[in-house]
Amino acid sequence: MSDKAKIYWTKVDEAPYLATFSLLPAVEKFFKSAGVSVEVKDISVAGRILASFPEYLKENQRVPDDLAKLAELVKLPGTNVIKLPNISASVPQLVATIKELQNKGYNVPDYPEEPKTEEEKKIKDTYSKVLGSAVNPVLREGNNIRAISKSVKESAKKFPDAMGLPLKPWSKDSKTHVAHMSGGDFYEHERSITAEKPTKIKIEFIDDAGKPQVLKELALQEKEVFDGTFMDVVALQKFFGEEINKAKEEGILWSLHLKATMMKVSDPVMFGFAVKEYYKDVFAKHEQTFKEIGVNTNNGLADVYLKIKKLPENKQKEIEADIQAVYDKNPPLFMVDSDKGTTNLHMPNLVIIDASLPTIVRDGGKAWGPDGKPSDVKVVIPDRCYATIYKEIIEDCKVNGQFDRTTMGSVTNIGLMAMKAEEYGSHDKTFIAPSNGTFRVVDENNKAFIEHKVKKGDIWRGCQVKDAAVKNWVQIAVERSKQTKNSTVFWLDENRAHDAQLIKKVNEYLKAYDTTGLDIRILKPQEAMRFTVEKVRKGKDVIAVTGNALRDYLTDLFPILEVGTSAKVLSIIPLLAGGRVSEAGAGGSAPKHVEQFIEQGHLRWDSTAEFTAITTALRFFEEKYGDKKAKVLADASEIALTKLLANKQWPGRKPGELDNRGQHYYFIKYWAEGLAGQSEDKDLQAKFLKPAKGLSENESKIIEEFKAAAGKPANINGYYFPDEDKLALAMRPSKTLNNIIDSI
Ligand SMILES: NC(=O)C1=CN([C@@H]2O[C@H](COP(=O)(O)OP(=O)(O)OC[C@H]3O[C@@H](n4cnc5c(N)ncnc54)[C@H](OP(=O)(O)O)[C@@H]3O)[C@@H](O)[C@H]2O)C=CC1
Ligand SMILES: O=C(O)CCC(=O)C(=O)O
Ligand SMILES: [Mg+2]
């Protein structure tokens, strides 16, 4: 194999980070046997913080900026990355990571929430680049193909209730429903243009006294789409208030579903308004105190609990009692952890719409209440751009009942996200109106093509999509449609300004292909959901071609319904420059799994997604360079996964059951057996004969060694920045297995 044979493996956070310590040592050995080397790149929150502040660290504590390096690499033609899910950090997560690093002797600066000096402003600015969705938009330099592989789908049909949690029945009289705004939202205010030629533009704010301020200058490429919109926060808060009252009358839980991680500037602010509204009696009574101690509602109720620690005990008690009184008056909140009293409004990163909505649909419209019991729930999704898709599927379930994993079809997603498309590019173009005034987007001649009159506090957001990204997205959609002959739906709404621009492009670019005999259509998101749900209920497969946010939403929703978890999804990003990113799954980093691992020594993280990413990364070498060894390795890894699924060897939820480490063992065993059993490549066959024999003969011994280590707390001395020596020991408890792997 050529010297290009390198795979970049990302070091991330939480459960997939832990899992890597067991899986990667074996993967490195297998890859090496085909001449493929593995280079680990650290994109964890802790790693990114350390890389951002070299001047604060001792020489031996400094680390390279791996994300910046990867950002360059994904723009080169031969780059092959295996990307695992990483944290898109909220402020509370960032602060917790900083604290952990400081406690371990890394002198990184505190996060200055309200910077006063120039130095503090600089620090906050640096941290803002670590916050939120800071990795994915940078690495995803291509559009996304997320699908469920045949073997995974087959296995879900065979074992419908054993993969993830089972689907629960819906009742026709479920009171669960989606509530969204009817005006004043991003949907209503959106304005959009397509640049006819390369154009320099400015986003500016002019206050009511006429004083202008330039917020951002940027250059649009030819045929690039730019849109601007805003959320009227007075309307938003009024909407929250009304829906809180209605949920009380309806006797159901109140829940809020946003994407405060990916939409790191706009959504925490919206979240903050919900906190202020739900706990408004507390905020009214303690307004002055909260101001003095610097409570920031965007960080959730947890920030109140954190900041009141500065107050005398009796004052703390009074505030805590006032918070309790709110629960007696208001509808019960959707809970994140009812045992610990953690609510939906505790922190902005706890309930994330892509993962939270599917579980409500999966659970028959029920969500956990403060009493620890499942209950009907009001699902509040303020903005209408995407709320209607969930409305549609929930109403459909009330009429047609729960889906059936044994018969339902599959939804593949072709998601637009290349070149920071749509919401991904909005972070540095989102602004909170500093006063009443006007946001204007002007061209070189100072001619405004977008103008929004706003009130103080309104949230203004700009997005872009480059023409090359859209062209590539249409191309992938057509290719997939041709390969599968499945109905292919572009989820675009002609009544949304941005979508109207995209519809023109899609219609134009489709003309370049012979689409005879294909079913390609453009439907509004709500209608697209109706169409898709109807098809999948009949066992038909559908291709959903969507923008960035719907990519995110649908790639958790359908996999969770179809196969129990988005961890079993195959994600490939064909990079525009010619390389490939194989993403592990479509879900996140499962923080609850880490908690369980630390407390009970059981890691329930399912690595199916990593296994599929291993295969697709190897296939890249096969497809691009015709590499035979990579092909043999890829074939064997695919067969290994099929065997693993046929034997139901994925992690159970409780200690004593197979966990992530055991799952890795079986994958490695089958992979080695596959290589030893094939004759396409004699070298590989010879190399794996002995390890395959060892892995097979020692099965019961290895499983015993795993069992001996299970069920006890795992001391890894940390969460965001654990002791990696301890972690390696905890994740590799079987000496017998380690010896076999080390001998390869
Ligand atoms: N690609 C990326 O980089 C992504 C990163 N994220 C980040 O992940 C974090 C957590 O996000 P959250 O919204 O809680 O979503 P997650 O997908 O991490 O978790 C939701 C639930 O899904 C289940 N789950 C997810 N992955 C697996 C797996 N591999 N094996 C078994 N179960 C799994 C778990 O269910 P149960 O607890 O019932 O076992 C988990 O609690 C956030 O910091 C977010 O920013 C989120 C999405 C994508
Ligand atoms: O970038 C992020 O914040 C997470 C994105 C996500 O959830 C996804 O891509 O599925
Ligand atoms: Mg997602």
pLDDT per residue over 664-690, tens digit each?
Answer: 999 999 999 999 999 999 999 999 999
Please name the residues in contact with 452: beta carbons below 8 A apart, sequence gap of 6 or more: 189, 191, 228, 229, 230, 438, 439, 440, 460
Tokens encoding 5: 């044979």
Q: Is 133 in the pocket of ligand 2 (CB under 6 A)?
A: yes
Query: What are the tens digits of pLDDT across the range 543-556?
Result: 999 999 999 999 99
Q: Give residue 484's identity as a one-letter amino acid code.
A: T
Q: Order of strands across the sheet with 569-574? A: 37-42, 6-11, 80-83, 580-584, 569-574, 144-148, 411-415, 542-546, 487-491, 520-523
State mean pLDDT over 430-455: 97
CA 740 to centroid of ligand 2, rounded, Å: 37
Q: Is the CB of 48 under 6 A from ligand 1?
A: no
> Mutate which of 130, 133, 352, 554 to test ligand 1's pocket (most atoms within 8 Å of Cβ)?
352
Question: Which of 139, 145, 261, 553 to mutate to test ligand 2, by most ligand atoms within 8 A of the CB atom?
Answer: 261
Is the distance from the beta carbon of residue 654 to the nearest atom of ligand 1 less than 6 Å?
no
Dist CA 450 CA 203 (whole Å): 9
Q: Is there a binding annotation on residue 233?
A: no
The minimum-distance atom of ligand 2 relative to the CA of 132 is: 3
Distances (CA, A) of 624 to 247, 344, 376, 616, 711: 56, 46, 51, 12, 45
Task: Indicate whether residue 351 lines ligand 1 (CB < 6 A).
Answer: no
| First CA to last CA distance, the chain | 19
Q: What is the pLDDT of residues 28-39, one digit of tens each?
A: 999 999 999 999
**How far lies 276's CA from each of 262, 283, 298, 323, in Å?**
22, 7, 9, 12
Sign of the CA dihedral 294, 335, 720, 564? negative
86 is known to lie in a ligand binding site: yes
Nearest ligand to residue 423 Cα: 2
Which of 168, 681, 110, 222 is closest to 404 using CA atoms? 168
| Close Cβ partners of 3 (under 8 Å, ≥ 6 residues apart) | none
The neighbouring-strand residues paired with 147 are 570
The pLDDT > 70 percentage for the chain reads: 99
Asked whether the ipTM of the predicted complex exceeds the cut of 0.85, the reply is yes
**β 459-465/225-231 pair status:** antiparallel
491 and 545 in contact (C-beta within 8 Å)?
Answer: yes
What would the mean pLDDT of 109-122 be, rounded to a whole number?
95
Under 8 Å CB-to-CB from 703, ≥6 apart: which residues?
662, 665
Task: State how far the Cα of 504 lies from the Cα of 494, in Å rounded to an integer.
Answer: 10
Spatial contact of 443 and 200, defined as CB atoms under 8 Å apart: yes
C-beta of residue 441 within 8 angstroms of C-beta of residue 217: no
Q: Which of 67, 351, 413, 552 to mutate to test the pocket of ligand 2 (most atoms within 8 A of CB)?
A: 552
Q: What is the pLDDT of residues 61-110, one digit of tens each?
A: 999 999 999 999 999 999 999 999 999 999 999 999 999 999 999 999 99
Q: Is the shortest distance between the CB of 582 and ligand 1 below 6 Å?
A: no
Q: What pLDDT shows up at residue 86?
A: 97
Report the mean per-residue pLDDT for the chain.
Answer: 97
* Mean pLDDT score, 260-277: 96
Q: Please state, in angstroms and rounded to a whole number, the distance separating the CA atoms of residues 13 and 590.
A: 9
Q: Which residues contact 116 (CB under 8 A, 6 or more apart)?
A: none
Q: Whose CA is nearest to atom 34 of ligand 1?
A: 590
**Closest C-alpha residue for ligand 2 atom 10:** 552
pLDDT tens, residue by residue, 207-248: 999 999 999 999 999 999 999 999 999 999 999 999 999 999
Q: What are 684-704's pLDDT values in tens digits?
A: 999 999 999 999 999 999 999
Q: Is the CB of 596 under 6 A from ligand 1?
A: no
265 is in an annotated binding site: no
Tell me what the mean pLDDT of segment 460-464 comes to: 97
Is the confidence at residue 530, as pLDDT, over 50?
A: yes
Q: Measuring from atom 46 of ligand 1, which residue has the nearest CA?
A: 588
* Amino acid symbol at 735: K
pLDDT of residue 3: 47
Tokens of 32: 């090496």
Strands lying side by side in the sheet with 177-179 = 177-179, 377-380, 253-256
- Ligand 3 is an ion; its neighbours by CB within 5 Å are 354, 552
What is the pLDDT at residue 709? 87
Confidence band (pLDDT; 50, 70, 90) for 711? Answer: confident
Task: For ligand 1, say whether the CB of 550 is within 6 Å of any of its atoms.
Answer: no
The whole-number pLDDT of residue 482 equals: 98
Pocket test for ligand 2, best of 257, 259, 262, 417 (most atoms within 8 A of CB): 262
pLDDT digits (tens, 9 = 90+) for 364-383: 999 999 999 999 999 999 99
**Averaged pLDDT, 497-524:** 98
pLDDT number for residue 4:
63
Q: To the nearest whole percent, how much of the chain has pLDDT over 90? A: 97
Please compute, for residue 492, the number of CA atoms within 13 A of its CA located in the half-sphere on the CB side.
24
Mean pLDDT of 553-561: 97
Cβ(352) to ligand 1 under 6 A? yes
